[in-house]
A and B are shown apart, each in its own frame.
Chain A
Amino acid sequence: MIKFENVSLHRSQRCLLNHCDLTIEQGGFYALTGDNGSGKSSILQVVLGQLGVSSGTIIRGFGHGDYSYLPQKNQLDIQFPMSVEQAVMAGLWQKFGAISALKSKHFERIEQALHEVGIAHLKQASINQLSGGQLQRLLFARMLVQDASLLLLDEPLASIDQKAKNILLDILKAKHQQGVTILITLHDAGLVKRYVSQQLHISDQKVHLCQADFAHSDDCCRLPIRQMAC
């Protein structure tokens, strides 16, 4: 569980959140929506502890290795001389660490994850040979092998085609059904409606919690089912 208590957040002297309370329940599938610059990515960074808040308290019910984060701007160095399989292997760090040997079950897990995202045929390809969409699938595969209990995804579907979007969202849906907590920033109202159970909409320095069925309808942000105290 993640809890924001009376949190204010500023970036570059601009107020993004003003005395907000917010609770992310364990096992929930949340979509974080809002206009560009409303603070979606910043909230994810606050959750991770990468960004400090101006005031208020954050309670994080997770530790190092319990979460997996897919940032908006991919930080994987695509010129790094490694194969797709090796790049996905990085997700297994918690299992093999700095010294332990990799076992066959680890390679099987990688193979399975690559199958799930549909790039198993590229296992031995160098990562600099991948297209933008294939790279995004690779990052998803790396996230899957982590078996993290909390997934934080910052606009992960921006650079991929519709078919790949559906595949990746189906994977997230399956993860949610297994009890994984998911917090994802999305722009596509249709996808929010179809896949996500709860929507956190940011507007006017406030976060509104609405059921995703109401997402982007006029009622959602005026009369949220439960408006967070902001």
Chain B
Amino acid sequence: MIDLVLSPFIEFEFMQRALFGCLLLSINGSLIGVFLLLKRMSLSGDAIAHAILPGAATGYFFAGLNVLAMSVGGLIAGVLVAFLSGITARKTNTSEDSALASYYLCSLALGVLIISMKGGSVDLLHVLFGSILALDNDTLYLLYFNSALCLLGFCCCYRFLVMDCSDSVFFKGLSKYSGYSHYLFLFLLVFNLVAGFHALGTLMAVGVTVLPAATAKYWSNRIEGMLLIAFVVAVVGALLGLLSSYYFRLPSSSAIVLWLGVFFLLSVLLGTQGGVLRLVERKAKLNEEIL
């Protein structure tokens, strides 16, 4: 059994690279995902993941599948969409989610248009679904840099984010820098998604961010516990996804996200914090007490 798990990673360098890349993504994904969930922005994360496409596509248009060009382009597009939706929501009579939805749809359409102008459907698939089994050095360096930046950002701003998420009105009264934490968080989110799309693609990058956090919510009622559980879930999901992809010839990013989906569904059923089984138990106990 242990041999089945370890041998692909011992024998093949591309599997080692894939695992290392997933590990790096799991660190950031779990951190960012938990705060996305607590800010009730999970769908916004998905929208921003799509919004980076035209920037990445522009980079691709001029430099081909070049990591730096696509990353810088994706970063600019993502930050621009996040910033524009924030400004539109604050300055006009609309909510941030509807502004974001409008901008990201335009952004996605523009991205597909740019890619189709240069390449064929294979290139589009690469951008949408990534290439975790073919990570080159440049992509690994990007993931490594992304992890370092995210960890540093979270070390400095963890308390800012907790305060802002739990009671932003109260925090505004305490610190004149309170408003900046949200923008820093959005920047880290965009950067993480840009790095993630090289490995897993724009569609799947948000999966490794949101699903572990959503799973963790069913097992812990403390933020520290949620962060730890989300990280473990992300790593185990990535490991199982890569192994499934190796042994059953499945698309790797889909396999990883589907494993994370399995953990999420199991948690919905069995989770100790509001899982279905626990709710049924509680209801039965209550009925017993009444009788």
Contact = CB atoms under 8 A, between A and B. Distances in A.
Interface of A: 48, 64-65, 67-69, 71, 75-77, 80-83, 87, 90, 93-94, 97-99, 126, 128, 142
B251 to A, nearest CB: 34
B176 interface: yes
Given A81-B225, A128-B221, A75 B170 contact: yes
Interface stretch (B18-26, B82-90, B153-161): B153-161
B166 A76 contact: yes
A77 B157 contact: no
Q: DSSP majority for the B interface?
A: helix
Contacts of B173: 48, 64, 67-69
Contact of B166 (A64, A68, A87): A87
B167 A93 contact: no
B166 A82 contact: yes
Nearest to A139: B170
Interface in B133-192: 156-157, 159-160, 162-163, 165-171, 173-176
Interface residues of B, number: 25
Given A69-B170, A77-B166, A128-B221, 17 more contacts: A48-B173, A64-B175, A67-B173, A69-B173, A77-B38, A80-B38, A81-B222, A90-B166, A90-B167, A93-B159, A93-B174, A93-B175, A94-B174, A98-B156, A98-B160, A99-B159, A142-B170
Nearest to B181: A98
27 contacts: A48-B173, A64-B175, A65-B174, A65-B175, A68-B173, A69-B169, A75-B167, A75-B169, A75-B170, A76-B166, A76-B170, A77-B38, A77-B167, A80-B165, A81-B217, A82-B162, A82-B166, A83-B222, A87-B166, A90-B163, A90-B167, A90-B170, A90-B171, A97-B159, A99-B159, A126-B222, A128-B221
Contacts of B176: 64
